[in-house]
Structure 1
Amino acid sequence: MFNASLNGFAVVDPFDVESPVSCGKLRILATYCVFIFIGSVLANTSLLWTLIYYKDLRNSVNAFMIALSSCNLLGSLIEMPLVIVSNFNCKWYFKKAGCVFGAFIMYSIGCISIFLLTAISFERFYIIYKPMSIKSINQKLSLIIISACVFFGVLWALFPVFGWSHYSLEGAMTSCSVEWNERSFNVVSYNIAIFAFVYFLPLIAIAYSNLRLIFMIRNMPKFANGSDGNLDKKMLKKLKVERELTVSTLILIAGFMITWTPYALVSMYSAFIDHGKMDPLTATIPSMFAKGSLIWSSGIYIYTNKQVKKKFKRLFMNIEEPTSFSMIKSYSMENPQSKNESQISKVDT
């Protein structure tokens, strides 16, 4: 621990303090983070490779998923090693510079992710609400929206770097985040702003669009009715694909909110209700749980999206799902006499 003597007073480096949590518990958290790190790198790399490799997967929602997976992969490679080493070391190991850098990266990813999920929600709402306008959401527009999400996410994460609030150690003192406990106007005003504009406003937008989506999905066959009352088969097929993709994104968004909401609640409790009195381990666990979003989002999307899942199996497992043509061909090869028998029957007749 770094101590300096100034007019008889000891000045302690706030980024070089022992954790109040026992090393045994911290190393359990470190082991958990190792699994998150490995799983996140594998899941995000696999999803990115799949979406980029197959051109027929390059639609608007998958463009958002490429951005989301890229952010998650970046967070896994940069921030997670800092947390793993510090928990195994039983104290923060990377001083102030490492704390600010790691917190900035992770907080940027959190902000960008919720903005991207908001964009995905409205993209799905627009597609389902106006199915004939699917082609209007093109690659250029998707890129503009993604760039805006990244810009505002990084902007909110930069404010503490330049003096509006600041980054500090949190919970067990083995990871860093925005300062929640300080009661200065500088810190409280920033905390109010981020909860309003980075959490509640996107959350309301996501909830509104997805509730409307759920209603429309349940009534989707009605939207495919032709003027004569008969189902338009082409439209119905298109809507079926969009419905499956929408359900996949709904599950993805639900998973993200489940992983981040406990951390948001604990942060709000620390920031506005009972600052500095929460048990350090209790304050840390939601933060570690939220880091699970680095892996769950890509894993959920691969598992629930039928098109992506099929391409993933083909690319990484060399599994080709049988089609009706391949099944007929396989049957004729396994039963060569069937063709001869049919020819004989024709001759007999």
Structure 2
Amino acid sequence: MILPNVSVNGCAGVNSAVCAGAGEGHLGGGSDRINLTPTGHLVVAVCLGFIGTFGLVNNLLVLVLFCRYKILRSPINLLLINISISDLLVCVLGTPFSFAASTQGRWLIGEKGCVWYGFANSLFGIVSLITLAVLSYERYSTMMAPTEADSSNYRKISLGISVSWVYSLVWTLPPLLGWSHYGPEGPGTTCSVDWTSKTANNISYIICLFVFCLAVPFLVIVFCYGKLLCAIRQMSGISASKSRKCEQRVLFMVVIMVICYLLCWLPYGIMALLATFGPPGLVTPEASIIPSVLAKTSTVINPVIYVFMNKQFYRCFHTLLHCEAPRQGSTLKSSSKVPTKALRGVAVTAPRCSKDFLFMVASLGRPDAALPQLGPSVEPTINITKAPSSDINKPVVVSLVAHFNG
């Protein structure tokens, strides 16, 4: 997790975790590190309390729904669960310690605890970011190659989840091995990577962390969702008004995702670069604590955007609240006579809009549920980009549209 580390009085060395003076064996015990007023610490503690509580409840609820309803146990939903698990771990292993430190105005669990906090929060934060990028790529790739979509194929998704954790470890272990280091930051109530040391060792790590753990995931998300929007605009076979409604709704989802990503993480990147390359004291502890709180709000926002705005999860949530039995097969229907248009050599199913918010194959928020049995009324759609064949035994391309009834 990218946190702008601003230590005062030149605490930038390897042992900066204890340079501020320890009171009763705790970090940040010296008064020179406590630069927030008691009211300021109280405000931060209240914000962290709300974030930790709602983040814990939201992500636990996602896991309960996933475990309770089989219809949610699809490959692409595993990516959503991976995000919820990483966010839940932040709420359990990170936020309580910074909350307690804010209530007391100082770090409470010592130097090793500070290093652990910095490592764990960075690890889980980067896992969440990388998974968001993998999710956007999965939706894009399924959209562009629907003939290869397989609701029972967990192998690719499992690989994506493994990559997110390994990739995060690659960038969070180096500070434990000597490439930069973890220590106190801001007013001394949280810990992260040291952003103020001007050594080549530290600056090189910060540049790599910014590029590969913030900029790259953001570019992947923008590229993939941008391509999805372009594909929607090129669809034919539906009326102009309905096409505009579909486009506007998907555009709304994309804009919300991108804005929330930037709101949560961009302030960290900006503050980190200012603290790293700016003059000493440019970023005050008061200013650095705001991006820290904003980034932790991602643990609350991610479940809302990526899960509870998903119609299938929402229906299961509604069923859970009313203690009803889940309605099997009510969230995915086959579509007959669905027009297609060749898009870069691939037959892509055109979306249809009505009062319901319908997602096309691999559209935003579409979970891969169990495919329904094709009845006699379902007409297969032939991939027009391939040359005709006289072999009647070759399988045809079947296009399905997921219907999320409101």
Q: Any residues of structure 2 matched to 1:189-228 within 5 Å, and which?
A: 189-220=204-235, 222=236
Partner SS, residue 57 of structure 2: helix
**1:21-41 Cα deviation digits (max 9, x unpaired):** 111111111011111111011
Q: More helix per residue: 1 or 2?
A: 1
Distance 1:246 1:149 in 2: 26
Worse-matched range after superposition: 314-323 or 32-41: 314-323
Other-structure match for 1:115: 130
Q: CA deviation at 1:273?
A: 2.4
**1:2-32 Cα deviation digits (max 9, x unpaired):** xxxxxxxx97547333311111111111011
Partner SS, residue 109 of structure 1: helix
2:41 aligned with 1:26 = yes
Partner SS, residue 169 of structure 1: strand
Q: Check the 8 A contact 1:102/1:176 in 2, yes or no.
A: yes
Partner SS, residue 177 of structure 2: coil
Other-structure match for 1:267: 272
Residues 1:144 and 1:73: Cα distance change in structure 2 (over 3 Å): same
Other-structure match for 1:88: 103
Distance 2:196 2:137 in 1: 35
Residues 1:211 and 1:266: Cα distance change in structure 2 (over 3 Å): same
2:44 aligned with 1:44 = no
Distance 1:197 1:180 in 2: 16
Residues 1:244 and 1:312: Cα distance change in structure 2 (over 3 Å): farther
Partner SS, residue 204 of structure 1: helix
Worse-matched range after superposition: 110-119 or 312-321: 312-321
Structure 1, unaligned runs of 5 or more = 1-9, 232-240, 326-349
Other-structure match for 2:168: 153
Other-structure match for 1:282: 287
2:129 counterpart letter in structure 1: I
Sequence identity (%): 26
2:63 aligned with 1:57 = no
Q: Check the 8 A contact 2:41/2:103 in 1, yes or no.
A: yes
**1:165-209 Cα deviation digits (max 9, x unpaired):** 001111121101111011011110100111121122222222211
Relative to the length of structure 1, the TM-score reads 0.78
Distance 2:310 2:260 in 1: 14
Other-structure match for 2:357: none
Other-structure match for 1:328: none
Other-structure match for 1:127: 142
Q: Check the 8 A contact 2:222/2:258 in 1, yes or no.
A: no
2:92 aligned with 1:77 = yes
Distance 2:283 2:274 in 1: 9
Q: Check the 8 A contact 1:302/1:312 in 2, yes or no.
A: no
State which of 292, 295, 301 in structure 2 corresponds to 1:296: 301
State which of 94, 97, 104 in structure 1 corresponds to 2:112: 97
Distance 2:321 2:155 in 1: 30
Q: CA deviation at 1:138?
A: 1.6
Larger radius of gyration: 1
Structure 2, unaligned runs of 5 or more = 1-17, 240-245, 331-406
Q: Check the 8 A contact 1:249/1:301 in 2, yes or no.
A: no
Residues 1:265 and 1:11: Cα distance change in structure 2 (over 3 Å): closer
Q: CA deviation at 1:268?
A: 1.4
Residues 1:82 and 1:173: Cα distance change in structure 2 (over 3 Å): same
Moved over 6 A (4+): 243-247, 319-323
Partner SS, residue 212 of structure 2: helix
Distance 1:190 1:200 in 2: 14
